[in-house]
Structure 1
Amino acid sequence: MKHILPTIVIAQFLCTSLWFAGNAVLPELAAAMQLPSSYLGHLTSAVQIGFIGGTLIFAILTIADKFSPSKVFLISALIAAAFNWMMVFPNVEAWQLLLYRFGAGFFLAGIYPVGMKIAADYFEKGLGQSLGFLVGALVLGTAFPHLVRSLTDSFPWEFAIYSTSILAIFGGLLIYFLVPDGPFRKPGATFNPSAFIKVFEIKNFRNAAFGYFGHMWELYAFWAFIPVILAYLAGNQNLNIPFWSFLIIAVGGISCALGGMISKVIPPKKIAFSALALSGICCLLSPFILSIPNLYFTLFFLLIWGLAVTADSPMFSTLVAQNAPSASKGTSLTIVNSIGFGITILSIQLLNFLAQSIPTQYLFLILALGPLLGLIATAKIKTQH
């Protein structure tokens, strides 16, 4: 049993490296295919749309309940890796890249949420800590393609795509061979569309969900535009943008794990509120900090922002899970997850649009709207004693 959680965490990390694989090689793709600067937002949104579609289809068909979650994880990892690999096919057109990223996102729905379900099937107690490690693995996986690109800068950009696809296949095999179905696995109820409305009648659930939505408004837009921020800061200076992109995203994995660990002694609501407040302050300070000519001071600020922007993620997942009705918990969590990722598309595309007319240092003020509304909702959550 001791190997179960580390194996799930490692597999989650390896497989979710597919998430930002396209973003990590975008400069080379843009140069090779003469893509516009707005393509960054479209490439990221394609993965998010795929993930939303995947989570809904997986939930409606109750895939992870009807079949072995470990098998679902493996098959999803193999197909997602194949879609990722297709990016390096010769004579690929821009619309095909979006289609391949959509496909990778769709089957990430059989990796990230299913990995959490596998953990829940093993760990009824201490789920908050387990989720902290799992979301931390997602964060590291998201950052990893930037590190691969940084370390293989002298190689063709395709090497980063090959690497992430191979790692995802390995992650799927780890789950299949080392993590059988858990002892607490229970057959789930069929998908209940009426839960979409009814679940939001529960005040605590609604407030936890709205707090999560505010968090998601900021998170993926910040991650997607980190290379843009770094390119603006670098100017004519020599800065390893892929490496710093990796650090700023990956540091959030540490805060997720720490948040999960301290949730045993500090209520998840307090951790979520504090982290969301700090990341909101970072949004508001960004025009001033990004205008400071000292590059390393600004990089330090971005690392703090990277820590804060993710620390609340497993806490909101815990709060949503705690306040979801047990009879429709799977459906309720899927609804919240899908809406949350839908919100990321709106914020990414808004930044994409504003980037054409607003100076970079002022671009991220709009992200403060998410933490502000999220804090109002989180404050209304009534903790159970």
Structure 2
Amino acid sequence: MMIKNRWLALTIIGIAVIFCLSLWFSASVFATEIKQSWGLTPRQEALLAASIPTGFVIGAFLSSFFGLADRFHVRRLFAISALLGAILNGFLIMVDQAVIGIVLRILTGVTLAGVYPTSVKMIAYWFPKQRGLATGILIASLTLGSSLPHFISIFTVNMDSRWVLTISSILSIIAAILIISLLPDIQLVSKNSSWSFSVFGKILKNKPVMLVNYGYFGHMWELYAMWTWLPMFLTVSFLQSTPNVDPWLSMFISFVTIGIAGGIGCIAGGIVADKIGRANLTIICMSISAICAILIGFTFGGVIWLTVLISIIWGASVIADSAQFSVGITEFAEADYIGTALTMQMCIGFLITILSINLIPIFQTLLGWRFVFILLSIGPIIGIISMVKFKYFESRVYNL
């Protein structure tokens, strides 16, 4: 049965994204066990942390280079990517060597580049209007999916940690089935079936698109480094504040911060952006997240409720504007290269995350947890400058 209602389509796509994105941090939640069983060196540990975004960058580059999101049916591309991601993630259960494990995580990241950008393009088709809200709900699904392994780990804390890998792989297989069996095979293929390097030239010459990209790059400098290292920060901070604290507390707060607060922030951001404009919404969110990045370190080892409060505010604000950078591309890029422009944006954005993710442990050694997250505030500050300039183009088009 193929569905035709756009809100039902959004629900199916959102659920599929939640299930697929559970692959992203499926190995990170038991990084301590992996470090011990694989005998990871500090360098290998850093490579493992950056493996998924590295794979995503490779996949996004290949997708944008060959124009996959504009030349092939995105529903099929999504389903195939979800299935391959599930298989590669499942193989990790049998791995006992660091090199093989890191390679598998990189390949899993490659497959996720066929999930996220394609889902954004599907939403753009289903929602020519209310696109900000719809894309906000989609990014909320991505956020919830990324945090899902932390939630699963709460129930498997006394079990073999590989159950998290198993469950996330099963969920990704279900996602592929949902997309391929319930969504109609919409013709989203570009009218221009040939592809050339001139597409990149068109993107680079499109000033509002590039301003949105610069805002997104600043946003991404902060986002995934925060998602990757905040759970570790919370664990160490809670133990220093209360040595006998239960281990599930930091897992639960990580899930609430990244998944629940982040998901609510995405939906609220989509609603507000459709009313006050994408530029204004992104400027507000990046201002709040930059302040949280600066402040949270000063709560380290202190009163737990204050750390939790700033974490939740940070979790909501750091992702609430994410959808609007994608929507900006769909609104200002030409129809024939929207998919490529989206994938190119994400490719560079996730390349930036690799750098920030790897810099945090280096600077944490030098500065300690109290000051290290201040480094992340640089991104949103730069992003704010870009989006202030983008307001000019947005106001001309929408009379804001």
TM-score range, shorter chain: over 0.9
Aligned match of 1:358: 367
1:138 corresponds, among 117, 137, 142, to 142
Provide Cα deviations, 1:3-54, integer angstroms capped at 9, x if missing partner.
2111111111111110111111212212323334665542231111111111
* Superposed counterparts of 1:1-385, under 5 Å: 1-2=4-5, 3-36=8-41, 39-90=44-95, 92-182=96-186, 186-187=190-191, 189-235=193-239, 236-239=243-246, 240=248, 241-250=250-259, 251-290=261-300, 293-381=302-390, 382=392, 383=394, 384=397, 385=399
Q: Distance in 2 between matches of 1:367 and 1:48?
A: 17
Q: Percent identity?
A: 32
Q: CA shift at 1:270, angstroms? A: 1.0
On the 8 A contact 2:17/2:116 being kept in 1, the answer is yes
| Amino acid paired to 1:161 | L
On the 8 A contact 1:59/1:191 being kept in 2, the answer is no
Provide Cα deviations, 1:302-351, integer angstroms capped at 9, x if missing partner.
01100110011011211233222344333322221111111101111111
Provide Cα deviations, 1:104-143, integer angstroms capped at 9, x if missing partner.
1000111111122222232222222221111110000000
Change in Cα spacing, 1:134 to 1:187, as seen in structure 2 (3 Å) is farther
Change in Cα spacing, 1:283 to 1:7, as seen in structure 2 (3 Å) is same
SS at match of 2:275: coil
Provide Cα deviations, 1:140-188, integer angstroms capped at 9, x if missing partner.
0000011111111121001111000000000110001001223666545
Change in Cα spacing, 1:69 to 1:333, as seen in structure 2 (3 Å) is closer
Between Structure 1 and Structure 2, the one with more helix by share is 2
SS at match of 2:365: coil
| Amino acid paired to 1:378 | M
Change in Cα spacing, 1:184 to 1:100, as seen in structure 2 (3 Å) is closer
On the 8 A contact 1:249/1:306 being kept in 2, the answer is yes
Worse overlay, 70-79 or 139-148: 70-79
On the 8 A contact 2:64/2:344 being kept in 1, the answer is no
Show structure 1 runs of 5+ residues with no match: none
Q: Distance in 2 between matches of 1:148 and 1:95?
A: 26
| Amino acid paired to 1:154 | N
On the 8 A contact 1:124/1:184 being kept in 2, the answer is no
| Amino acid paired to 1:363 | V
Q: Distance in 2 between matches of 1:188 and 1:77?
A: 27
Q: Distance in 1 between matches of 2:86 and 2:175?
A: 11
Worse overlay, 297-306 or 54-63: 54-63
On the 8 A contact 2:211/2:387 being kept in 1, the answer is yes
Worse overlay, 97-106 or 184-193: 184-193
Worse overlay, 308-317 or 260-269: 260-269
Q: Distance in 1 between matches of 2:300 and 2:192?
A: 48
What count of residue pairs does the alignment treat as equivalent? 383
Q: Distance in 2 between matches of 1:23 and 1:337?
A: 21
On the 8 A contact 2:117/2:342 being kept in 1, the answer is no
Worse overlay, 229-238 or 27-36: 27-36
Change in Cα spacing, 1:244 to 1:287, as seen in structure 2 (3 Å) is closer
Change in Cα spacing, 1:124 to 1:295, as seen in structure 2 (3 Å) is same
On the 8 A contact 1:214/1:370 being kept in 2, the answer is yes
| Amino acid paired to 1:265 | K
Q: Distance in 2 between matches of 1:304 and 1:18?
A: 25
